[in-house]
Amino acid sequence: MAQSISIVLVLALAFAPLCLCGKTTGGYLYPQFYDRSCPKAQEIVNSIVAKAVAKEARMAASLVRLHFHDCFVKGCDASILLDSSRGIISEKGSNPNRNSARGFEVIDEIKSALEKECPKTVSCADIMALAARDSTVITGGPSWEVPLGRRDSRGASLSGSNSNIPAPNNTFQTILTKFKLQGLGVVDLVALSGSHTIGNARCTSFRQRLYNQSGNGQPDSTLQQSFAAQLRTRCPRSGGDQNLFFLDFVSPTKFDNSYFNNILASKGLLSSDQVLLTNNEASMELVKKYAGNQELFFEQFAKSMVKMGNISPLTGHRGEIRKSCRKINA
């Protein structure tokens, strides 16, 4: 009897999902979710992401950011991809996303290819999680197994998008509070901020640092002066809102730890980057650690991306598998 029980336990453990799984209401996320239903899913996502990044290096950062902006609003449920329609006000029009969120066409192309390969099977939410991982790897960053099995929402939240996503001019405490509301801590905040090792920011995102940081007509004292002068040449007091600047001017298309070294040199582009060093002791220590040890940063970034990807996913019978990522099923 005892032996038969132990055999059952061994079998149960052998077929249990990997520990990377996130336990969610109604089911698990686990990396092998599509192994039988759509075995080529990950290969298809990777191929299209690689092509998109080869065409435009900036796209890698855009796809990582899309996943982040999705997960912080109602969980990782692809709500950010929905266009406005009857009963739905799109999150694309929110302050953090308007004229800023991008990569939607790449997600569309992936979804179209997956619908041909295995119709009504792979969710848009999972596509975004995979695309974020692949974008990181393609640009030289760490890899990780992506837990899968998310389903897509049937609604969006414009108000959630406006209030939940950290803004570049938020105080450190406000940013940390927004992370804590999602079950993430200071370690996740600093590691995930490291994604700013790739990508661009618009002049409008950091202009106040150059001219009027505290409302007294003075630039941000935590921004290195010659770097600030250089930025002013293309980010004037008025106009040029959409002018793009590298978030990491040292290696703008390579996923590495130079972002943290830039912060130590007072050359973080956004206020939200520099406050990691100046406004909190725990985050300051983490910035120093990651600046000196890229492997440590990569390891934590991968863990924090899995953790973020596990924020309130729809599983089981909740939500749906959209046929088009831009609209709910009829």
Q: Catalytic: 69?
A: yes
Residue 215: its pLDDT value, please? 83
| Cα 250 off chain centre by | 21
Residue 27: its pLDDT value, please? 60
Query: Phi/psi class of residue 74: alpha, beta or left (left: φ > 0; alpha: ψ in -120 to 50)?
Result: left
Query: Phi/psi class of residue 68: alpha, beta or left (left: φ > 0; alpha: ψ in -120 to 50)?
Result: alpha
**Binding residue positions:** 70, 73, 75, 77, 79, 91, 166, 196-197, 248, 256
Amino acid at 23: K
Compute the distance between CA of residue 55 and CA of residue 82 in angstroms, rounded to an integer.
Answer: 25
C-alpha closest to that of 152 among 195, 192, 114: 114
For residues 182 and 311, is the Cβ–Cβ distance under 8 A?
yes
Residue 214: its pLDDT value, please? 81
Q: Is 330 exposed, middle or buried, given 0-12, 13-18 or 19+ CB atoms closer than 10 A?
A: exposed
Q: Which residues of the chain have pLDDT under 50?
A: 1-20, 23-26
Q: What's phi and psi for 251, nearest 5 deg?
A: -140, 75
* Each residue's pLDDT tens digit, 163-179: 999 999 999 999 999 99
**Binding residue positions for heme b:** 196
The one catalytic residue in 65, 67, 69, 207 is: 69
For residues 200 and 58, is the Cβ–Cβ distance under 8 A?
yes
Residue 12: its pLDDT value, please? 37
Residue 65: its pLDDT value, please? 97
pTM for this prediction? 0.91
**Binding residue positions for Ca(2+):** 70, 73, 75, 77, 79, 91, 197, 248, 256
Residue 13: its pLDDT value, please? 36
